[in-house]
Amino acid sequence: MVAHFPLDDNVVRVHRRLCRLMTDDALRATRADAAWLLERADAEAGEWPAAATQASRVLNASYVRAVDDELRWRSTNGLRRQPETFGHSRQFLDELLQQVDLVAEVELLTNLRPRGRALVGVCPFHDDHDPSLTVWPGELRWRCWAGCGFGDVIDWVLLVQRGAFSFRQAVEYLSARYGVPLEKPVPNRRGPRHAHKARVA
C-alpha cells in the first residue's frame, strides 16, 4: 500500500507512540483514514501546490506504516486492546450503530458534501475555514483532521454534548431517537467508570 510513498522515520516514530495508546478498532480506523487521504492526494494532485501534496503523502504514508507496525507487534505478542463498552454487549452496540443515521446526526450541526467515497464539511467544534471534517457513511465513521476527535456516532454525540452525557446516556439517547430497543447493561463489577470521552485524534 505505502511501498511507493516516501516515509519520514521521525514521523513514524512519533506516530508509533500515539498508536500504542489506541484500541485495535481505533488503529484500524486511523489506518483507513490515512489511506483515504493518500488516495485523495493522488486524485487531487493538480488542485494543490506540489509541496503540500508531497507533505500530505509523506505524513499519511508514515501514519499507515506506524499503524501497521503496531498491529504487527500486537499480533506477534498476542495482545489486543478493546474499547470499553460500559456494560453493553458488543453485539448490541454494533446493531445500534447500524440503525443510527450518522450523516443525519452530523448534519444537525454542519452541511456535508461528497468527496470521493466520503462526505466533508466544516467542523462545528473549532474555527474551521478549510473543511476538516470527514464522514464515511459506509464505514459509520467520522474524523476531524484538526484534532477535535474521531470515531462512531456515539463518539459524535459525546462530543456534541461536551461532557453533559456519559457513554450510557449517549446510547440511551440514540436508542430512543431511532427506536432501537435498549439492552439492559450488565453492572460493572469493578465499580463506576469515568464518563467516556470522544476519542481525540
Kindly report, residue by residue over 79-133, the tens digit of the pLDDT: 888 777 788 888 999 999 999 999 999 999 999 999 888 999 999 999 998 888 9
Assess if residue 96 is contained within a domain: yes
Are 42 and 69 in the same domain?
yes
Are 166 and 99 in the same domain?
yes
Are 139 and 71 in the same domain?
no
Percent of the chain with pLDDT over 70: 85
Whole-angstrom Cα distance, residue 56 to residue 27?
19
pLDDT band, very low/low/confident/very high, at 28 (cuts 50, 70, 90): confident
Assess if residue 187 is contained within a domain: no
CATH number assigned to the domain comprising residue 95? 3.90.580.10
Range of the domain at 100: 90-178
Are 123 and 152 in the same domain?
yes
Q: What's the half-sphere exposure (Cβ side, CA atoms, 13 Å) at 60? A: 22
Q: What is the pLDDT of residue 108?
A: 96
Assess if residue 200 is contained within a domain: no
With 0.85 as the threshold, say if the pTM is over it.
no
Are 171 and 100 in the same domain?
yes
* Final residue of a structural domain among 50, 76, 102: 76
Assess if residue 13 is contained within a domain: yes
Are 72 and 103 in the same domain?
no
Are 72 and 124 in the same domain?
no
The answer to whether the CB of 26 falls within 8 A of the CB of 70 is no
Return mean pLDDT, the chain.
Answer: 83
Whole-angstrom Cα distance, residue 76 to residue 72?
6
* Per-residue exposure over 66-90, b if at least 16 CB sit within 10 Å of its own CB, e if not: bbeebeeebeeeeeeeebebbbbee
Q: What is the pLDDT of residue 187?
A: 60
Cα 93 to its chain centre, rounded Å, is 16
Q: What is the pLDDT of residue 188?
A: 53
Q: Which residue has the higher pLDDT, 19 or 53?
A: 19
Are 101 and 170 in the same domain?
yes
Q: Please tell me the total count of domains within the chain.
A: 2
Are 94 and 174 in the same domain?
yes
Q: Which three cell numbers stand for residue 190?
A: 469493578
Is the pLDDT at 192 greater than 50? The verdict is no
Are 67 and 24 in the same domain?
yes
Percent of the chain with pLDDT over 90: 37
Are 52 and 94 in the same domain?
no
